[in-house]
Amino acid sequence: MDAFGARTDGLAGRRRRPFLIRSAANAALAEAILIPIAAVGVAFVLFGLFLAVVGSPPLEVFSSIYRGAFGTWFSWQNTLVRAAPLMLVALCTTIPAQLGLVVIGGDGAVLLGGLMAALCGLVLAGAPAAVGLAVMAACAAVVGAGWIGLVGALRHYRGVNETISSLLFTYLAVSVFRHLVQGPLRDPETQNYPGTYPIDPAFAIGEIPSTNIHWGLAAGIVACIAIWIVIKRTPFGQAMRVVGGNPRAARIAGLPVGLLTVAACALGGAFAGLAGFFEVSAVIGRANSALYAHYGLSAVLVSFVARHNAAAVIPAAIAVGGIRAAGGLVQRAHGLPDATVMVFEGIVFLVVLWSASWYGRTPLSRMAADGK
Amino acid sequence: MTKSLALTRRQFIQSAFASAIVARYGIGALHAEEPITVGFLYVGAKDDYGYNQSHAESAKIIGELPYVRLIEEERVPETVEVQKSMQSMIELDGAKVLFPTSYGYYDPHVLAVAEQYPDVTFFHCGGLYEEGQPANVGTYWATVDQAQYVSGVTAAHMTKTGKFGMVSAVPIPDILRAVNSFLLGARTVRPDATMQIIYTGDWNVPVKEAEAVNSLADQGIDVVGCEVDSPKVIVETADKRGLYSCGVYASQAGLGAEGFLVSAIPTWAPICQYFLDKSIAKEPFEHTIIGGMAEGYVGNSEFGPAVSDEAKAAAMAAAEGLKSGTTKIYQGPLKDNEGNVRIADGESYSYGDPFIDGIDWLVEGVTGSSSI
Amino acid sequence: MESSLTELGWLTVPLAVLSGAIRVGTPFLFVSLGECLTERSGRINISLEGTLVMGAMTGYGTAYLTGSPWLGVLAAACAGALLGGMHSLLCSRPGVDHIAAGIALMLFATGIAFFFGKPLIQPRAPQLPDLPLGFWSDLNVVQANLRINPLFVIGVLVAPVMWWAFNNTRWGLYLRTVGDSAEAARALGLGVNGTRAMATMIGGFFAGIGGAFLSLSYPGIWNEGLSSGQGLMAVVLVIFARWHPVRCLWAALLFGGASALAPALQSVGISSGYHLITAAPYLLTLILMIVTSSPERSLRGAPAELALNRTD
């Protein structure tokens, strides 16, 4: 039960192992923590080499990245503001991934959800703030859910590949969004920067007290934890994981595979739509092209490096947010191009994805296996 | 004879301002204190041969002042990211004066950050300040379309067909006015001149810009003007098709295109210098500075090799007329391209009149609509 | 430079659309040929958007430094092959998702291209010469529109050769076997990973050439906005072409033509619905996918091993 137990154990094969690795489950847990850390370490080494080759002092740049991302309270807020939409949009990949689906079209749901929120904010002008915000958020979520739910429905009922269709759906959403915002829904006052009419200022959701971070962060964290619980602890989550593990068995067991597919995609889309709502309500105040911020593909990678574990999406999104937050300082302090942090982000993602092949193959799991 | 009217004037302005500073504060006074940190933010690459370069050139002039420490960030999107970049410049680099140079930065981003940091001054390029907005915000703009009028005069002397084209990003008032002014300038020489407008839908889409030039060439158009962020591709594609081209924002003469005629360029440095001086002296400043040829904020680049002496002389005369105020671009009788009389016979409008700012129609002779 | 409409009449419009389709479609053609080859081996490489950007930057930089645009094309192709190698190295590891690996590599390649491309925005690199196929006509508009880049001609030749090679060579047989059943391929003693790595590298090679076309021919510049998603679109295009190289050629021309249509329509005075016109190719592909898929067997004609093709 503790370190003592392992030491007093008489079996020769088990004596050499630290207590943590006593079982396969513990080994898996240790791997889940240590492998990402090791992978990020490898990424730092590779990025350091890259910097050295292009003639920048790696340690100084690392220290700027730290300062820009986590060095001060301001930097933390900068990081967290960037992480918030990534968390919500990553769930658009995480939830369908439980069923084995790869949805990469979160951006479309963000755009259309945000547009819907802006329209609700217009229609409800004058209503109590709580009502307005609730309706805006709900409508944004519903539109996002419908958009990605359609991807799920096409997948199940027509066999249309969800990865490609969600990509196509995003392009369609972008075109429809631009057409509406620059055309029929445009506020003539927004002459040089086309957008919809501004929402009632009462519907600006504001910031978490004594911070400069809007409520989207709280929503992102709560959503990730809630979805983690749903996936791990509820019958719905279990059913999704059964389908993801073996769809044929799931069907034989009588699980409603079609309903689960649509529901998982819709739920994911709802969170992406919600991300659009927060952009409109907390930041822009109307729908315009600033809403198309290309969170989608990064959010897909956030979900993958979190290994589609909703709780792990939180630290993954914060790490990516941190890299981006540091981008400005790296540019200003070292005269490096703005793409420097993009290179770093790419290296981190590549190495962490590569590290997926380390699971179950590290000395830790070998030791655990030896013990069997 | 001088090849260019604008360059000499610009040089004059620069030296005039530099000596004004020295006269006002004395060189010693400038050095006595810590240098002030001034931040510039650009939406695109700062060497784009266009809009961002025009600002980077003025930043360079500001940065050479002995009492200024210049920091810059490129490719900052018009999303919450620009808020974070500005805050990062203030919090981590101690910036006291910021120049966010892209139109879409203003509302809500500059306004939000300005309220948060009353000790920092923000000078936004776009001319958007309104009564009641934060006192530490100033805005500026240059009526570049006056120089497009001069380009139009130049082009009209060079054209054979009398048919012009304009490749534009989006149908917004500034661009519509540039199209109008170009054609009105051309029509003072060639009353039969016509103008075809093509929108590319965005500010930096090279393939679409090149395609637009090609389709204009197929229509028998022989001079192409442009209103996009980076005119390089338009000037070069026009050259490949054997067309004349007029640039904008920065001089494209350095590209070596044979058909390049002239560019319409803003000169931001004097305005930036004014705001900077006021900020250092902690004096109240004009919140809105909009000027054109008369103020020296707008001019034309040096002429390309193809431009005839006759065209040069006519262009310089036109520029003189605008500078002195004897030439009015918008004078009646003037119809729009749908046949409505917009300015009655005998009426005329000067720059600074709200009528000029509100032009959202195209003059007679322009093919294309004022929306997409 | 006299008015061309009057001389050629309505023929100008189809001529302009055709030449627009060729100009805009050539990058699509190369990326989709590369993707077609890769997908035939049973692997999807979604990173070709990054390969395209990387190829454009490498090609432009090499041409600028050496003065030879053709060396630029070669360098771009090699950069593409290198990225393809990275992709297959990553995908050959157990537990690595092809889609995620592709997106990460796209991000990485774009970042590298933007990083090293910074000083290349202003300089002017020597451009690839065009073939004056309109020499027989006196009309400027015909001559201008029939100035075809040799890369397009190469692409047109590669498409049927690739199709022929799929069906008539030993290597084509290997490729199709690996793409249709990895198990069968292993039973026959074929190296699955090796074949796929080769296919991905050659695919990247082609996509790199597509990038070089962007920066060295049309529009013939380098900046960060050069590719507006043509690489991702080409992945879609291969599905539209149903994994057939010759159909990739037609699809590339169709997608290119659709992109060229919006400015062409505006130049004759039709400018409403601009954004909706640009969405047309995506909508067409979606409809095609819905029509050709069925709940039992998704995507008829797709290589069975393709990750896209997984059925319940």
The 3-state secondary structure of chain C reads CCCHHHHHHHHHHHHHHHHHHHHHHHHHHHHHHHHHHHHHCCCCCCCHHHHHHHHHHHHHHHHHHHCCHHHHHHHHHHHHHHHHHHHHHHHCCCCCCHHHHHHHHHHHHHHHHHHHHHHHCCCCCCCCCCEECCCCCCCHHHHHHCEECHHHHHHHHHHHHHHHHHHHCHHHHHHHHHHHCHHHHHHCCCCHHHHHHHHHHHHHHHHHHHHHHHHHCCCCCCCCCCCCCHHHHHHHHHHHCCCCHHHHHHHHHHHHHHHHHHHHHHHCCCCCCHHHHHCHHHHHHHHHHHHHCCCCCCCCCCCCCCHHHCCC
Q: Is A184 on the interface with B (CB under 8 A)?
A: no
Cβ–Cβ below 8 Å for C111 and A178: no
pLDDT digits (tens, 9 = 90+) for B193-229: 999 999 888 889 999 999 999 989 888 899 999 999 9
Average pLDDT over residues A233-247: 91
Average pLDDT over residues A259-286: 95
Alpha-carbon Rg for chain A in angstroms = 23
- Verify whether the Cβ–Cβ distance B87 to A290 is below 8 Å: no
The verdict on a CB contact (< 8 Å) between B236 and C5 is no
* Average pLDDT of span B252-281: 94
Interatomic CA distance for residues B240 and B234, integer angstroms? 10
pLDDT in tens, chain C (312 residues): 334 444 555 676 777 788 889 999 999 999 999 999 999 999 999 999 999 999 999 999 999 999 999 999 999 999 999 999 999 999 998 889 989 999 999 999 999 999 999 999 999 999 999 998 888 888 777 888 888 999 999 999 999 999 999 999 999 999 999 998 888 899 888 889 999 999 999 999 999 999 999 999 989 999 999 988 888 888 888 988 889 999 999 999 988 888 777 777 777 666 677 788 778 888 888 998 888 877 765 566 678 777 655 443
Q: Which CATH number fits domain A57-335: 1.20.1630, 1.10.3470, 3.30.70, 1.10.10?
A: 1.10.3470
Place of tokens 């037609």: C250
What is the residue whose two structure tokens read 């968390």? A87
Based on the fold, state whether residues B55 and B157 are members of the same structural domain: no
Residue where the block lists tokens 């009449």: C9
Cα distance between residue B41 and residue B56, in whole Å: 9
Q: How far does B72 lie from chain A, in Å, by closest CA? A: 6
Residue of A nearest to B127 (CA): A192
- Cβ of B161 within 8 Å of Cβ of C1? The answer is yes
Task: Work out the minimum CA distance from A229 to partner chain B, whole angstroms.
Answer: 31
For residues B149 and B284, membership in a common domain is answered with: no
Both B155 and B123 in a single domain?
Answer: no
Rounded CA-CA distance B261/B235 in Å is: 10
Residues 46-105 of B with CB under 8 A from A: 71-81, 84-85, 87-89, 91-93, 103-104
A93-102, B256-265, B362-371, C168-177: least confident range: B362-371
Distance from CA of C4 to the nearest CA of A (A): 33
Amino acid letter at B269?
Answer: A
Contacts B372 to A, Cβ<8 Å: 182-183
Q: Is the pLDDT of residue B274 over 80?
A: yes
Least-confidence region, from A87-96, B136-145, B244-253, C129-138: C129-138
In this complex, the residue of C141, C219, C271 whose CB is nearest that of residue B206 is C219
Q: Does residue A344 register a pLDDT over 80?
A: yes
Inter-chain CB proximity B369 and C272 less than 8 Å: yes
The count of structural domains within chain B is: 2
- Tokens encoding B127: 């001319």
CA distance B152 to chain A (A): 23
> For position B111, which CATH number holds?
3.40.50.2300
Q: How far apart are CA C52 and CA C234, in angstroms?
A: 10
Which residue shows structure tokens 């050069």? Answer: C226
C-alpha Rg value of chain C to the nearest Å: 20
Contacts of residue B108, defined as CB under 8 A and 6 or more positions apart, other chains included, come to A283, A284, A285
Does ipTM exceed 0.95?
A: no
Residues B186 and B120 in one domain: no
Query: Which residues in chain B have their CB less than 8 angstroms from residue A337's CB?
Result: 74
Q: For chain C, list the domains and their CATH numbers.
A: 2-290 (1.10.3470)
**3-state SS, residue B227:** strand
CA dist., res. B95 & res. B68, Å (int): 10
Residue B119 lies in a domain: yes
Number of H helices, E strands in chain A: 17, 0
Residue B29, pLDDT above cutoff 60 = no
Asked if residue B355 lies in contact with residue B349, where contact means CB atoms within 8 angstroms, the answer is yes
Residue A330's pLDDT is: 94
Torsion of CA C270, C273, C276, C277, to 10 degrees: 0
Distance from CA of B252 to the nearest CA of A (A): 24
Does B303 share its domain with B204? yes
**Is A335 an 8 Å CB contact of chain B?**
no
**Is B225 within the bounds of a domain?**
yes
A331 and B87: CB-CB below 8 Å? no
Task: For residue B174, give the nearest of A81, A192, A338 by CB distance.
Answer: A192
> Mean pLDDT score of chain A, rounded to an integer?
89
CB contact under 8 A, B75 and A78: no
B330 and B216 in one domain?
Answer: yes
A343 in Cβ contact with C115 (< 8 Å):
yes
The reply to whether B225 and B274 lie within a common domain is no
CB nearest to B222's CB, from C1, C16, C23? C1
Q: Which of B256, B290, B324 is the last residue of a domain?
A: B290
Contact indicator for A294, A342 with CB cutoff of 8 Å: no
Between these two residues, B350 and B314, which has the higher pLDDT value? B314
The answer to whether the bond into C150 is cis (omega within 30° of 0) is: no
Q: In chain B, which residue's Cα lies nearest the Cα of A80?
A: B84
Q: Considering only CA atoms, which of B38, B59, B37, B39 is closest in space to residue B47?
A: B59
> What mean pLDDT is predicted for residues A115-134?
94
Q: Which of residues 108-147 of C touch A (CB under 8 A)?
A: 108-115, 118
Residue B31 lies in a domain: no
Q: Which of residues 283-302 of C touch A (CB under 8 A)?
A: 283, 285-286, 289-290, 293-299
Domain boundaries defined on chain A: 57-335
pLDDT tier at B174, thresholds 50, 70, 90? confident
Q: Which of A74, A194, A288 sits opposite B91 (nearest CB)?
A: A74
Kindly list the residues from chain C whose CB atom is less than 8 angstroms away from the CB atom of residue A247. Answer: 312
Q: Look at residue A214 and give its three-state secondary structure.
A: strand
Cβ contact (<8 Å) for B161 and C221?
Answer: no
DSSP code of residue B106: I
Are both B136 and B48 inside the same structural domain?
yes
Place of tokens 């959701």: A205
Q: Does the pLDDT of residue A72 top 70, yes or no?
A: yes
Distance between CA C22 and CA A14 in Å, rounded? 69
Q: What is the largest CA-CA distance in chain C?
A: 68
**C168: alpha, beta or left? (left if phi > 0; alpha if psi -120 to 50):** alpha
Q: Name chain A's partners: 3 or more CB pairs within 8 A.
A: B, C
- Contact list in C for residue B165 (CB cut-off 8 A) is 267
Picking from B88, B116, B173, the nearest residue to A328 by CB comes out as B88
- Hey, are the CB atoms on B93 and A284 less than 8 Å from each other? no
Which residues on neighbouring strands pair with residue B40, listed in sequence order? Answer: B72, B99
Interface of A with B in 37-56 (CB under 8 A): none
* Assigned domain for B12 exists: no
Task: Give the residue from B37, B92, B106, B117 with the most A CB atoms within 10 Å of its CB, the best one to mutate.
Answer: B92
Q: Cα–Cα distance between C247 and A129 in angstroms, integer?
A: 56
Q: For the whole prediction, is pTM greater than 0.80?
A: yes
The distance of C151 to chain A (nearest Cα, Å) reads 28
CA–CA dist A340, A56 (Å, integer)? 11
Residue in chain C nearest A350 by alpha carbon: C104
Say whether pLDDT at B371 is over 90.
no
Mind listing the pLDDT tens digit for each residue in A148-186?
A: 999 999 999 988 889 999 999 999 999 999 999 988 888
Q: Does residue B23 form part of some domain?
A: no
Asked if C236 and A304 come within 8 Å (Cβ–Cβ), the reply is no
Q: Report the alpha-carbon distance of residue A319 to residue C122 in Å, rounded.
A: 34
Assess if residue B1 is contained within a domain: no
Distance in angstroms (rounded) separating the CA atoms of residues C101 and C88: 9
Residue A19 has pLDDT above 80, yes or no: no
Whether residue B154 sits in one domain with residue B118: no
Residue among C86, C106, C108, C296 with most chain A CBs within 10 A, to mutate: C108
Question: Would an 8 Å CB–CB cutoff place B170 in contact with chain A?
Answer: yes
Distance of alpha carbon A8 from alpha carbon A2, whole angstroms = 10
pLDDT tier at B157, thresholds 50, 70, 90:
very high
Asked whether the beta carbons of B201 and C275 are under 8 A apart, the reply is yes
The rounded distance, in Å, linking the Cα atoms of A150 and A166 is 9
| Residue B21 domain flag | no
Query: Taking CA atoms, what residue in B is nearest to C17?
Result: B215
Tens of pLDDT along B119-129? 999 999 988 89
Domain that holds residue B151: 144-265+298-367
The answer to whether the CB atoms of B220 and C1 lie below 8 A apart is: yes
From A201's Cα to the closest Cα of chain C, the distance in A is 30
Q: Are residues B178 and B302 in the same domain?
A: yes
Asked whether residue B10 is assigned to any structural domain, the reply reads no
Beta strands in chain B (DSSP E): 36-41, 68-73, 97-100, 121-125, 137-142, 163-168, 194-199, 223-227, 244-248, 260-266, 288-291, 298-300, 330-331, 334-335, 341-343, 348-349, 366-367
Specify whether B67 is located in the same domain as B152.
no
**Residues B92, A72 contacting (CB under 8 angstroms):** yes
Name the DSSP letter for residue B130.
-
How high is the pLDDT of residue C277? 79
Q: Which of residues 172-191 of C touch A (CB under 8 A)?
A: none
Claim to verify: residue B138 and residue B156 sit in the same structural domain: no
